[in-house]
């Protein structure tokens, strides 16, 4: 769906003059700013080549050796590879480069760190859905 009229009030852009295109150049262009809602029946991990595995809430070291342990949606608790503490995926210390959820709001064509949601948007999402929201950046896979 296209970004709405209030988009630039709900997302803060770093830097002085962001060059954001809200319209595709042609029918094949998908490198413009649009919004997609991604909803899944079970929690899903979204990550890209820049993502680091989340940290343990107890010892703060990377809780898992690799992503495969988080890609299994049946897995509800994980044992930290360093201290052995048990944590649920939502308790891990996620970086701003990956996330796990059933519902995502994807904003396309924003570079990592280029923009962030304003606090009132995060509060509004929390109020409307009854759960906490966070944001992260993925690198777009080309080709
Ligand atoms: Zn640990």
User: What digits encode the pLDDT tens for the residues 30-88?
Assistant: 889 999 999 999 889 999 998 999 999 999 999 999 998 888 766 679 999 999 999 99
Q: Which domain holds residue 59?
A: 53-94
Give the total number of structural domains in the chain: 2
Rounded alpha-carbon distances, angstroms, from residue 132 to 59, 65, 101:
23, 26, 11
Residues 86, 60 share a domain: yes
Is 107 found in the same domain as 90? no
Residues 14, 36, single domain; the answer is: yes
- The whole-model pTM stands at 0.88
3-state secondary structure of 102: strand
- Note residues around ion ligand 1 (Cβ under 5 angstroms): 56, 58-59, 80, 82-83, 85
Same domain, 74 and 15: no
**Residues 31 and 71 both lie in one domain:** no
Cα 55 to ligand 1 centroid, rounded to whole Å: 8
Whether residue 102 sits in one domain with residue 89: no
Q: Are 82 and 61 spatial neighbours (Cβ–Cβ below 8 Å)?
A: yes
Tokens linked to 68: 């495969």
Using the mean position of ligand 1's atoms as its centre, give its distance from the Cα of residue 35 in Å. Answer: 36
Q: Do the beta carbons of residue 118 and residue 104 sit within 8 Å? A: no
Looking at the fold, whether 79 and 89 belong to one and the same domain comes out as yes
């Amino acid at each position: 769906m296209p970004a709405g009229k209030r988009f630039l009030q709900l997302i803060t852009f770093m830097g002085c003059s962001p060059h954001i295109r809200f319209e595709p150049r042609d029918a094949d262009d998908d490198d413009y700013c649009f919004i997609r809602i991604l909803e899944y029946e079970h929690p899903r991990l979204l990550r890209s080549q820049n993502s680091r595995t989340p940290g343990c809430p107890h010892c703060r070291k990377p809780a898992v050796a690799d992503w495969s342990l988080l890609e299994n949606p049946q897995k509800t608790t994980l044992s930290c590879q360093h201290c052995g503490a048990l944590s649920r995926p939502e308790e891990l210390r996620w970086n701003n480069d990956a996330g796990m959820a059933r519902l995502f709001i994807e904003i396309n064509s924003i570079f990592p760190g280029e923009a962030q949601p304003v606090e009132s948007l995060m509060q509004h999402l929390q109020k409307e859905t009854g759960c906490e929201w966070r944001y992260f950046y993925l690198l777009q896979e080309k080709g």
